[in-house]
Amino acid sequence: MKPLRDAGLSALVALGLFGVMIGLKTDAGPHSLVLRARPWAVAAAVAAVFFGRLAMLYWRQWRPAGTPSPRHVAATLSRIGRYAAPLLLAFAITLPLYAGRYWLDLGVLVLTYVMLGWGLNIVVGLAGLLDLGYVAFYAVGAYSYALLAQTFDLGFWTCLPLAGLLAALWGVMLGFPVLRLRGDYLAIVTLAFGEIIRIVLLNWVSLTGGPNGLSGIPRPTLFGLKFNGGGGPGSFADFFGLEPSISQRVVYLYFVILGLALLTNWVSLRLRRLPLGRAWEALREDEVACRSLGINVTVTKLTAFAIGAAFGGFAGAFFATRQAFISPESFTFIESAVVLAIVVLGGLGSQLGTALAALVMIGGAEVFRDLQEYRMLIFGLALVVVMVVRPRGLVSGRTPSVALGGRRHIGADMMSEGHG
C-alpha cells in the first residue's frame, strides 16, 4: 500500500507542476496570443511520474541481495579509469581525422570547458576554496587578449602568457580580501567578484565597448602563417600549397585548445606531487593543522587562486581569438555555475572526472539541442540523478601523491559528499 500512496503523492506533485508548465500553451492567434489546453500531455506526464515512481519503489524492495559493495565498485571504476584516460586522449587527438566541421566546433567548445574545469579544479578541488566567480578570470583573459591585440598589434602567442598573467594578478587581488573567509562566505564574495568584473566590462564603454563588445579580434597564427578562408600570400594554405579552406583554421583551433587543456592537466598533476600541491590539499583538509605545521596559509591560498585564475585567463584568451568577438554577455554567472557543476559532477579533484563531466554536460547539451526547452529539463534531471546515485561525483576517490611501491586508490567513501 505504501508504494502506491507514495507514487500517488508524486503524481499529485507532478500534476501541480506540469498542469501549468505543460498543460497550457500559448499560440499566436489572429489578434493576440491564444491559450491552448493540453490535458493529454499532462495526463501522460503525470502517468509517467506515477509509474516511474512505483517501478523505482518496487525495484528498491525486490533488489537482489548481492549488490556490489562500494569498495568493489570503486576498484572497478579505477580499473576502467586507467584505460579511459588514454582512450579519451587518443580519441581527442584523432578526432580531426574523421570528424566534420560541426563536430570539431563542438570539440573546441567541450575542450574549452574541460580546460576551465581543470583550472577551477585547482582552486575548488585541490585547495578546497569554493569559487563561484571563476568566469571573472575567463573574462579578464578574453578582454586582455582582445585589448592587447587591438591596441598594441600583438599576436595571439605573445598575448597568451600576458592574458594568463593578468588573470593571475586578478586572482591574487580577489584572494587578498577573502583570505579569512571560508565555505559559504567565500562563495558569496567570489560570486560578487564575478559580477563586479562583468558590470565593469559592461559600463566602461570607452575601453571595452560596453554591451557592444569588441569585434575583429585577430585570429591565431602558426609561426606567422595566417588561417583565412581566402588564402593569399602569408597564409597557411599558400605556404603548404593547399586549397584554402576555413576548416584548416578550425582544426588548428582545435589543436590549440587541446594543447592548452593538456598543459593545464599536466601542470595540475605535477603540482599535486610538489609540496605546494600537497599543501593545497592539506589546506582543504584542515587549515588549523596547516598553520601548526609552519605552512604559510596566506601564500598557499593566494597561489591556488593565482594559478587557477591563470588557466582561466588562458582559456579566455583562446575564447576571444576563436570567436573574434567578445561581449560581457559571454561572461555571466551561469558560466561559473556550469564550470563548477562540471568540477563537482566529475568528482572534486579528479582530472578524468572533470573531462568526462565536461563531455557529458557541454556535448550532451549540444546533442539535445533539438529538444529545445526540454533540454534544460533533461540537464537538470541528469544533474540530480548523478548527485543522488554518485554523491561524490562521477569519478570519486583520490590517488595519494606519494607511494612506496604500488599506488593505492583512496576509496570514494572518504571523499567529501554534498557540500565540500
Partner 1 sequence: MSALLRLSGVTAYYGAIQALKGVDLEVNPGEIVTLIGANGAGKSTLMMTICGNPRARDGQITYDGQDITAQPTHAIMRQGIAQSPEGRRIFPRMSVHENLLMGAHGHPPSEAEATMQEVFALFPRLLERLSQRGGTLSGGEQQMLAIGRALMSRPRLLLLDEPSLGLAPLVVRHIFSAIRELNRRTGLTVLLVEQNAYQALRLAHRGYVLVNGAITMAGPGAELLARPEIRAAYLEGGH
In the structure grid, which three cell numbers stand for residue 65, read together?
541481495
Q: How far is the CB of 398 from partner 1 (least distance, A)?
A: 7
> What does the binding site for partner 1 look like in residue numbers (CB under 8 A)?
275, 278-279, 281-282, 285-286, 288-297, 398, 400-404, 408, 410, 414-416
Q: How far is the CB of 405 from partner 1 (least distance, A)?
A: 8
Of 105 and 281, nearer to partner 1 (C-beta) is 281
Q: How far is the CB of 391 from partner 1 (least distance, A)?
A: 15
Of 79 and 407, nearer to partner 1 (C-beta) is 407
> To 10 degrees, the CA torsion angle through 143, 149, 151, 154?
150
Residue labelled with grid coordinates 598533476: 269
- Angle at alpha carbon of residue 214, lines to 212 and 217, rounded to 5°: 155
Quick one: which of 155, 199, 191 has its CA closest to 174?
Answer: 191
Q: How far is the CB of 277 from partner 1 (least distance, A)?
A: 11
Q: How far is the CB of 265 from partner 1 (least distance, A)?
A: 21
- Angle at alpha carbon of residue 155, lines to 150 and 160, rounded to 5°: 100
Of 65 and 402, nearer to partner 1 (C-beta) is 402
Three-state helix/strand/coil letters over 37-63:
ECHHHHHHHHHHHHHHHHHHHHHHHHC
Quick one: which of 397, 364, 366, 355 has its CA closest to 383?
Answer: 364
Q: How far is the CB of 409 from partner 1 (least distance, A)?
A: 10
Of 383 and 410, nearer to partner 1 (C-beta) is 410
In the structure grid, which three cell numbers stand for residue 105, read together?
566546433
Of 241 and 294, nearer to partner 1 (C-beta) is 294
Of 233 and 294, nearer to partner 1 (C-beta) is 294
DSSP 303-370: HHHHHHHHHHHHHHHHHHHHHSEE-GGGG-HHHHHHHHHHHHHH-TT-HHHHHHHHIIIIIHHHHGGG
Q: How far is the CB of 295 from partner 1 (least distance, A)?
A: 5
Q: Distance between CA atoms of 126 and 137, rounded to whole angstroms?
A: 18
Looking at 183-279, which runs of residues are DSSP E strands?
Answer: 214-215
Of 313 and 346, nearer to partner 1 (C-beta) is 346
